[in-house]
Structure 1
Amino acid sequence: MENLMLQASESLKGKVVAVPESRQLLLLSKMLSKRGADVMAVPMVSIHDAPDPLPVLNWLKGFVRNPPDILILLTGEGLRRLIKLAEQNGLKNDFVMALSRVDKLCRGPKPNQALREIGLEREIDAMAPTTAGVIASLDKLELSGKNIAVQLYGEEPNVKLIAYLKQAGGQVSVVAPYVYANKLDDEKVIDLIWAMHNGKVDVIAFSSQPQVNRLFKVAKQYQLEGELSIGLNKCHVAAMGPVVRDVLNNKGVTVEIMPARTFFMKPLVTAIAKFLNKQV
């Protein structure tokens, strides 16, 4: 057992892994460090409660008073923020009880994990952790006349999903319990771009699309788009799942590393280690 642990701790020894994470930065960095990686942590975005909590609170009260037929959870972060706001307003028990009576569809493993934290499970699996995967699962259901609630990904309106639900005859309500905000420290992002450009980064690991958007926004703002492109070609790019991979692909970035099935941090770290060990 000790030898196995030693092998695991050395599997990323001497490798520099850039982590543009915010939500669980310390957790991901710790997991990589345990495998011997030299972690370059550069938080790209921060997450905040919705600046105006009243619409979210009103949505919660309506949910408790008249639960929908289906709740679509796009992120675990969103559900946790809803639960926190419900608790702050003395509604947590009522909200959890209402949740237990609703058919819940999770876009991926993160919202499912958030449900388990309050003792609940999803009733419907997305075919894939994408909007297309959610729609593919909903295609099997009769949605006409159903009340359908959607917890959004940040402030992204997800026009495609909402249009599909309305076209299918659903009565749709949406809630956006949190927003993304850029971190103010552009200098660290610029340092990361130059580190990649100079070949000092082995892997950069993305876990959400706002990270990708922030990196490219800073590069454009400081006229470093060419340097960023060179840097991303010099290092190996990892994505936690297909949503982030597709965002990167749309920006012309090739993703070489991604977990095969489960899109959590641990499988991402394992995929990085396996990939780099094959390069030796």
Structure 2
Amino acid sequence: MGKGLNGKRIAIGGSRKTEEISTLIEKQGGTAVIRSLQGTVYPAEEQIEPDLRRFIKEKADWVIFTTGIGTETLVSVSEKIGLKEEFLAAVHEAKIGCRGYKTYAALKKLGMTPSASDEDGTTKGLIRSLERFEFKGQKIMIQLHGEKAPVLTEFLEGKGARVFPVLPYQHIPPERETVDKLCRELMNHEIDAVCFTTAIQVRSLFDYAREIGMANEIKQAFEERVVAAAVGKVTAEAIRDEGITRLLAPEIERMGAMIIELSRYYESLNS
């Protein structure tokens, strides 16, 4: 196998396993630069206690879980405040929506079967599954994970639902200096590709670009010369949500597969 990343400067948007990803890039002949767009996600147990109590008291017609760890955190916090049985009973009374196989597995452990779930691990897949239901006047609790779900919320509100979001995790944005540096590098043709390993990284980059008035220029950079590489379907969906159509995402959702896919892409251009 050739070294398709020869002469290429690849930015890594993650903050975990950066050494491992750097090694993979270097083995393919590239130069890795770490530009963490991840920020910090931390449990927000104190913040969600009032939301949990409200949900238990008022109930909901639907409960939608979007991550396995978020689902488990809600159960854990309800247990800490002595309301686990009441929380689970309130969930059982509602119809359940679910995104992602880890979320499905977490619900299965609790003996819960979703009425609607995605087929591909994406929010759009979940929305397709929800389209057949009526939501007018219904109350829906959505478990989020460190960020908002504007597409899902907009879909439900568009069908007349009252959406009640619960965030068991809070997200602290990445360092502005890091995001600004990457924006400048993208504009100055100093980066050939960006490896995104979570949807939050995509949001961080484009939220900052919009804030400084460079969103169109950054989008153009990705569409014309910089390759956006996504580790999996959910991350790829976030890139597409930003209007980027030129992206790579491996069938196998692993970092190694993402780097090989990127290397093969450049090899095919050279040949």
Fold agreement, TM-score > 0.5: yes
- 1:203-234 Cα offsets, whole Å, 9 max, x none, are 21234554334324544666766874675443
Residue 204 of structure 2: which of 214, 222, 225 is its match? 214
Q: What is the CA–CA distance in structure 2 between the aligned matches of 1:46 and 1:94, rounded to whole Å? A: 31
- Alpha-carbon contact 2:209-2:218 (below 8 Å) kept: yes
Corresponding residue for 2:173? 182
Matching of residue 258 in structure 1 with residue 252 in structure 2: no
Q: 1:256 to 1:216 in 2, by over 3 A?
A: closer
Provide closer, same or farther for how the CA distance between residues 71 and 224 of structure 1 changes in structure 2, counting only shifts above 3 A. Answer: closer
Q: Which TM-score applies when normalising by structure 1? A: 0.65
Structure 1 residues 223 and 142: alpha-carbon distance in aligned structure 2, compared to 1, 3 A threshold? closer
Match of residue 181, structure 2, among 154, 176, 191: 191
The yes-or-no answer on 1:238 pairing with 2:229 is yes
**Structure 1 residue ranges without an equivalent (≥5):** 1-6
- Give the equivalent residue in structure 1 for 2:11: 18
Measured in 2, the distance between the counterparts of 1:248 and 1:127 equals: 22
Amino acid at match of 1:243: E
Q: Over residues 77-130 of structure 1, what are the superposed CA-to-partner deviations in whole Å (9 max), with x where a residue is unaligned?
A: 5335424534544556876787688764322345346657x6777634225555
Paired amino acid for 1:255: R
Map 1:40-189; keep pairs closer than 5 Å: 40-44=33-37, 45-50=39-44, 53-54=46-47, 56-61=48-53, 70-76=62-68, 78-86=70-78, 88-89=80-81, 104-109=96-101, 111-112=103-104, 123=114, 124-127=116-119, 129-141=121-133, 148-152=140-144, 154-156=147-149, 158-164=152-158, 166=160, 173-184=164-175, 186-189=176-179
SS at match of 2:247: coil
How far residue 42 of structure 1 moved from its aligned partner, in angstroms, is 1.9
> Cα RMSD (Å) of the superposition?
4.5
* 8 Å contact kept, 2:18–2:34: no
Change in CA separation of 1:266 and 1:77 when aligned onto 2, cut-off 3 Å: farther
State the Cα deviation string for residues 231-274 of structure 1 (Å, max 9, x = none). 5443211234353132331xxx44221245x7665654454344
Instruction: State the one-letter code of the partner of 2:177.
Output: E
CA distance in 2, matches of 1:140, 1:227: 39
Residues 35-61 of structure 1: CA deviation (Å, up to 9, x unaligned)? 6364322222332444x835x224435
Paired letter, 1:73: F
**Number of residue pairs matched by the alignment:** 259
Distance 1:194 1:267 in 2: 28
Identity over aligned pairs, percent: 22
Q: Distance in 2 between matches of 1:135 and 1:33?
A: 38
State the distance in 1 between where 2:267 and 2:75 align.
41
Amino acid at match of 2:70: G
In 2 relative to 1, CA 198–115 (structure 1 residues): closer, same or farther, beyond 3 Å?
farther
Whole-angstrom distance in 2 between the partners of 1:144 and 1:217: 31
TM-score by length of 2: 0.66
Q: What one-letter code is carried by the residue in structure 2 that aligns with 1:182?
A: P
Counterpart of 1:204 (choices 171, 175, 194) is: 194
Give the gaps of 5 or more residues in structure 2. none
2:35/2:179 contact within 8 Å kept = yes
**Larger RCO (CA under 8 A, 6+ residues apart):** 2
Cα distance change, pair 16–91 in 1 and its aligned pair in 2 (3 A): farther
Moved more, 199-208 or 102-111: 102-111
User: Secondary structure at 1:211's aligned position in 2?
Assistant: helix
Equivalent residue for 2:241?
247
